[in-house]
Amino acid sequence: MSKIFPQKADSPLAKKFPECFLWGAATSAHQVEGNNHNDWTEWEKENAQRLSKESGGKYPPENYISGKACDHYNRYEEDFDLARRLGHNAHRFSIEWSRIEPEEGKFDDKEIEHYRDVIRALRARNIEPFVTLWHWTLPVWFVKKGGFEKSGNIKYFVRFCEYAAKEFKDGVKFWITLNEPEIYAANSYLKGIWPPQKKNLISYLQVMINLIKVHREVYIMIKKISSDAKIGVAKNNIYFEAYRNKFHNLMLKKFIDWWWNFYFLNRIKNYQDFIGLNHYFHNRIKNFKFNQNENKKISDMSWELYPEAIYYVLECLKKYSKPVYITENGLADAKDENREWFIKESLKNIHKAIAGGVDVRGYFHWSLLDNFEWDKGFWPRFGLVEVDYETLKRKPRSSSAIYAEIAKNNSINDTEQEEEK
């Protein structure tokens, strides 16, 4: 009979992460705060019935309306206490533009003070704040002006960022200007599945160009306010694999890598202090077809679980010679069957990338809490902490303890040792 004994942090099988490595989780305002009023809240109400019907009635319309969400707006101290107990020393969150500037040019002092309290609460627990300035939602007044589709609107977002940077500069060192600009542009202006639901190639390209300009201008502005601030983007990169390295697969991979993974980063390479990597997907290219994956393991959202992909994505970022923080990486797993395995295997591959010279300095699991998953609603469960949406009770999942142990030891076991008994 055999028994498995996990290795201790000082075991030769335990792979140490760099000193001062940041361990945490991520959230976004609209997905956890509750009671927002922005373009998404209006879109949800208009589309909830349709989305329910498209699910075949599996999920009722209220699944698609964010409503009170996790009530993190009122429960953030409770949630940060949980994060601290789970060994986190960093936390990524977003501030909601529509709260701070609900009407054009009118800034809400109460909401500024709220986010100042959030930052103080993190600092009081020795948790480093990573503040995202834009995580997809927009004030209704900004959308009526044409949103990011119009270059003349860039100034409004820059003004908001300047206001936030001045108000929060004493408590925030790390700023993320934009979350996954390429995902937003593709889903909102190319595929037409997110607000404002356009399917227009020109609009898509214009939004991408404007978001590049936005990042550059905000970077320059924040540096003027706080020269020691660290500023980056949260960029969604995918591991595109050319099946058997056949020529036609390689050519398609080269093109899609250039456009999806590197175009935005290339255009802002002189305007970033770090790269925030959001990573979820492996995409095998076979005979001019994408997504020809084996799907041996999948998440609740039918996304392939392929932890080795993060190694290849990180290797491709080495050329930028910038520190990398993994600002999102996770899976929907309501029963918590694969999360422990996924976290361990992902971190082993991250360690491999670090050993190969990639300057990775932190890992933020997505997400701290179960939350509202955009057009999918509440049913996907990404949280290290389970949320009962009726009572709002929080319950850490078993996998959160495994992640806590890794964070505490600042190391991951490469293998588990078997001893005969």
Instruction: Name the residues annotated as catalytic.
Output: 180, 328
DSSP bridge pairs for 3? 419
At residue 115, φ and ψ (nearest 5 deg) are -70, -30
Residue type, 247: F
CA–CA separation, 91 vs 113, rounded Å?
Answer: 19
CA–CA separation, 174 vs 142, rounded Å?
Answer: 26
Cβ atoms of 283 and 291 within 8 Å: the answer is yes
DSSP 22-34: EEEEE--HHHHS-
CA–CA separation, 179 vs 366, rounded Å?
Answer: 13
Specify burial of residue 155 (Cβ count, 10 A radius: 0-12, 13-18, 19+). exposed
CA–CA separation, 278 vs 233, rounded Å?
Answer: 10
Alpha carbon distance, N-terminus to C-terminus of the chain: 6
CA–CA separation, 266 vs 420, rounded Å?
Answer: 53
